[in-house]
Chains A and B, each alone.
Chain A
């Protein structure tokens, strides 16, 4: 039985201060040019208040509400992978002296951060990246060093966004799995946060923070909020074995139909919290004295991604879209034992032409049913 406690708004501020005292940098949602992004903050007052978002395929807007809510928007274009699996990373550098070359590995900068307001699907996405980057044989040290130190202060979603379908992917809206503390924000009758702890570090931080046990009524209100979110998902995946559906339809004409709309711009993969692909580039200077190897996020939508001797294996956009979607929803299961999609909807909202993988899956499913 999970113990549920209550934090008042001021207590939440104290909790963040306690995290800072323990050496954590606070990373939290911010409103920048009308969009929720994740960035470093100094305290609770920097979090957006009374902000909701409207998300549609290829469209995103925020607006102010009269409520004092801290977490009523859902996820934006950033994800926590930006802080764990860095967009750009130097792997090593070398310098040439008159008669020798010295190679030095670029020490992964350690970074102790507390992520504030991590959503259920994001907790799951971090777990999926842990699986790929730490627990599948080869350890990505740069990821691990940041991941090991990260503190996850999660929050149950009190609203579902227009592109959300975490219920279909069994990854929300209630936070489960690998987190330190999880909140449920309640606005009425009082603005409070239910809090549950899921780790020793979480427990320790909570102990230092004023809190009280939740009443049965408060727990009921909290459950109702999450149940309402679950019942209001913006979209859904067809209720079938999607992995099999897609792997049995690799030659379906629908891939070409999608390709006629797809820009192969790679936005979907860049915003996806589970996409992990990178490429490396070798840099040298004009004097030919300093060299380095740089890693950056790559995407299966880029032509060069599948470049082999003589050309790209996936030259058509249909092949690239199919690679992306079948990897996410089908071959990921063979590779890592679960779907690679957590239903956060980012790829739908941030696709400039609004391609929606739930609809594309549905189209193949409907055709299958005949």
Chain B
């Protein structure tokens, strides 16, 4: 990864997002100093003032594209990055702000802002991969900091990162959790959701709400049939899929199957 013993240069970029994923990086307390020696953190406005221009070996991109300006900026960033990694639900699927994709943005803006005429925004919120080639996508809302460190460690040494695309159920079972969908009829999206969080919510007897987005080959309609059996109506199921990953195709399709 590194050029002739120079540590690789890393940049962290922000698009439309809440900063939560970048904070996950800062939250890697015991690893952050090691990280700073293994990698030159050249551009990370959230952590340091000085910024270095030029090219980057690794670009971490947080956030979705919601403005014309950002649509152009991501092209420039891609051009300056060797590895471009998107982090979090916003960057990988469009985020919660992609709810606008199913509504009239002008109406939204008028509701939220005193002077909507100053707002210049696109009609849709889109993932980075809709605009440029992305080398790796790290899921989560927010991402899991352990997975982020693993992805960077993997990149440095040239191995495969450990981010299996299987269901949250696998992590749930590896931990020995009881299944709340089966034993308590709690709506849980674990069976259609991408692993990575360590089955965080089910470990506290809360249903998974899908913040890591769809797993590989998800069968959302089969899960919905089950959720109907345990008493969820169309609207409740539609809402279940209308969160952080609403714009991820399998979740969007399932939402739309349950009305608008």
Q: Can you name the residue of chain B whose Cβ is closest to the Cβ of A282?
A: B159
- How long is the Cα–Cα vector from A77 to B182 in the complex, in angstroms? 10
Q: Can you name the residue of chain B whose Cβ is closest to the Cβ of A33?
A: B178
With A33-B183, A266-B166 known to touch, is A352 a contact of B156 (CB < 8 Å)? no
Q: In the complex, which residues of chain A have a beta carbon less than 8 angstroms from the beta carbon of B190?
A: 265
A111 to chain B, nearest CB (A): 16
Select which of B160, B165, B174 is within 8 A of A297 by beta carbon. Answer: B174
Q: Can you name the residue of chain A whose Cβ is closest to the Cβ of B195?
A: A302
B223 to chain A, nearest CB (A): 6
Is the CB of A78 closer than 8 A to any CB of chain B?
A: yes
Q: Do B173 and A271 have beta carbons less than 8 Å apart? A: yes
Q: In the complex, which residues of chain A have a beta carbon less than 8 angstroms from the beta carbon of B34?
A: 285-287
A76 to chain B, nearest CB (A): 8
Q: Do A304 and B164 have beta carbons less than 8 Å apart? A: yes
Q: Do A302 and B182 have beta carbons less than 8 Å apart? A: no
Is the CB of A34 closer than 8 A to any CB of chain B?
A: yes
Is the CB of B162 closer than 8 A to any CB of chain A?
A: yes
- How long is the Cα–Cα vector from A261 to B152 in the complex, in angstroms? 38
Chain A interfacial residues counted at CB < 8 A: 47
Q: In the complex, which residues of chain A have a beta carbon less than 8 angstroms from the beta carbon of B162?
A: 281, 283
| B contacts with A: majority SS | helix
Is the CB of B54 closer than 8 A to any CB of chain A?
A: no
- How long is the Cα–Cα vector from A301 to B191 in the complex, in angstroms? 12
With A284-B159, A349-B182, A350-B179 known to touch, is A264 a contact of B170 (CB < 8 Å)? no
Query: Which B146-200 residues have a C-beta within 8 angstroms of A?
Result: 149-150, 152-154, 156-157, 159-160, 162, 164-167, 169-170, 173-176, 178-179, 181-185, 188, 190-192
Q: In the complex, which residues of chain B have a beta carbon less than 8 angstroms from the beta carbon of A282?
A: 159-160
Q: Do B167 and A61 have beta carbons less than 8 Å apart? A: no
Is the CB of B50 closer than 8 A to any CB of chain A?
A: no
Q: In the complex, which residues of chain A have a beta carbon less than 8 angstroms from the beta carbon of B249?
A: none
Is the CB of B67 closer than 8 A to any CB of chain A?
A: no
Is the CB of A167 closer than 8 A to any CB of chain B?
A: no
Is the CB of A317 closer than 8 A to any CB of chain B?
A: yes
Q: Do B178 and A265 have beta carbons less than 8 Å apart? A: no
- How long is the Cα–Cα vector from A32 to B154 in the complex, in angstroms? 38
Q: In the complex, which residues of chain B have a beta carbon less than 8 angstroms from the beta carbon of A58?
A: 182, 226
Further pairs besides A264-B219, A265-B190, A284-B154: 19, Cβ < 8 Å: A35-B178, A87-B174, A87-B176, A88-B174, A261-B219, A261-B222, A263-B192, A264-B167, A265-B191, A266-B166, A267-B191, A270-B169, A271-B173, A284-B156, A286-B35, A288-B157, A301-B166, A302-B166, A304-B166
Residues on A lying within 8 angstroms of B by beta carbon are: 32-35, 37, 58-61, 76-78, 82, 87-88, 260-267, 270-271, 281-288, 296-297, 299, 301-304, 315, 317, 349-350, 352-354
| 5 intermolecular pairs with C-beta atoms under 8 Å apart | A33-B184, A37-B176, A282-B160, A315-B217, A354-B226
